[in-house]
A = this chain, B = another copy of it.
Amino acid sequence: MKEIKIALLGFGTVGQGVYELLQKNKRHLGEKLGLEFNIKKILVRDKAKKRESQAPDELLTTDFKEILEDKEISIICELMGGVEPAKTYILSALDKGKLVVTANKAVLAEAGAEIFELAEKKRIFLGFEASVGGGIPVIKTLREALIGNQIERVTGIINGTTNYILTRMLEQNLSFEKALEEAQNKGYAEADPSLDLRGIDSAHKISILASLAFGFYIPYNKVYVEGLDEVDLMDLQFSRDFGYIVKLIAEARKIKNQIEIRVHPALLPENHILTSVRFNYNAILIRGDFVGDILLYGLGAGKEPTASAVVGDIVSSAEYLFAKNHPLIPYPKREEKESFIRPIEEGVFKYYFRFSAVDRPGVLSKIAGVLGKYGISIASVVQIGRQKRKGAVPIVMLTHETKEEKVISALKEIDTLDIVKGKTKRLRILD
């Protein structure tokens, strides 16, 4: 049986998952492929650290050079996360002619231009299935299966933490804080969940998906991002009364020659397929000109699903390794034009507004007057009678389609009215 020697960079959750998979399914892979995948080295910061999965001592090293210079190692799996030193390691490995598999969304979303360019230049396979959606084969689908299509849109729920929180809030009437606490207790949210809650994790991922969908690299800093700050339990409930479910959506779509790319909470009609994505599950809906809409759904994170994706890429690597071949399908190219991203102000959406207004006659007409001035047309409105919240009552409104810049101006004006108490909540509606 042929042997392939691998190195892992990092031995945290994902690294241990890969180690366990290659051990548990060694015979399965051997019988299927006639290949033996052996981990020869694992880069760690601290050899003595206690881990759930213990690898033999002689595998562990703290010296990346030892791995890089080892001619027997042909595939390097970067499973550390973060931009540096991951970026330097990936570039060095590619430069040295090693095949690279990475599970690192941040490094691709922030330094993908250089990494993709070097992989292309050196004609080396670079696998990154595990960087988005855990074990969901979304990278392979966008890169390979849908290659015949012009992709029109990618819409995803690609952060399990926030989806878990939104699901539990709505279904159990939990406050945001309570739901977050629960997510942390279940291990679905990290001790510092801010990358998830602020939408940054989703933005990293949609940057990668959009780069594949549209063929050129769209770095993370081009993504318009809103997190869950705008969402109260009350907004989830009002939305449901109107027939909508609120999800944290990452979306990229082509509009003429521009790409609109954004992450924000959005109202989806309750029969939308993405509303059936609950708890910590992820899903990505892709629209191509021939395939129509396809959806990929599964656990978007976690030790085992991520290991599944990494090993899928290791096997792809092996194929290129033996054939001394390079993928026919190119990696996303660097875009020269600066104007290819559509500013959020030019976006056209329907909106959900929740005004906090004093409970007094004429309030609605004042608000509606400002909206009318900006050409924003109201589709439906609910004014709730006085509640316990000292003097302020919620007025909830859905609009017809309107340009974001008008909404920004109108709300700015409305929020200065003396009848309005507190900042108006504003969510986009996607159909």
Contacts and interface: CB of A to CB of B under 8 A. Distances in A.
A303 to B, nearest CB: 9
A145 interface: yes
A144 interface: yes
A149 interface: yes
A329 B33 contact: yes
Nearest to A307: B290
A93 to B, nearest CB: 21
A141 interface: yes
A315 B215 contact: no
Interface in A279-321: 283, 288-299, 302, 304-305, 307-312, 314-316, 318-319
B298 A147 contact: no
Chain A residues touching B, range? 35 or more
A146 B312 contact: yes
Contact of A21 (B290, B322, B330): B290
A136 B298 CA distance: 15
B135 A292 contact: yes
B295 A29 contact: no
A134 B28 CA distance: 29
Interface string A32-44: 1101000000000
Give the 4 A-B CB pairs with smallest separation, nearest first.
Answer: A148-B311, A294-B298, A137-B145, A135-B291
Interface of A: 17, 21, 24-25, 28-29, 31-33, 35, 129, 134-137, 140-141, 144-150, 215, 273, 276, 283, 288-299, 302, 304-305, 307-312, 314-316, 318-319, 322-323, 325, 327-330
Given A35-B328, A145-B312, 19 more contacts: A21-B148, A24-B289, A25-B148, A32-B147, A32-B329, A33-B328, A135-B288, A135-B290, A136-B294, A137-B140, A137-B144, A137-B145, A146-B308, A148-B310, A283-B295, A291-B298, A292-B304, A295-B298, A323-B325
14 contacts: A25-B150, A137-B140, A137-B294, A146-B308, A146-B312, A147-B312, A148-B310, A148-B314, A273-B276, A276-B276, A292-B305, A293-B298, A322-B325, A323-B325
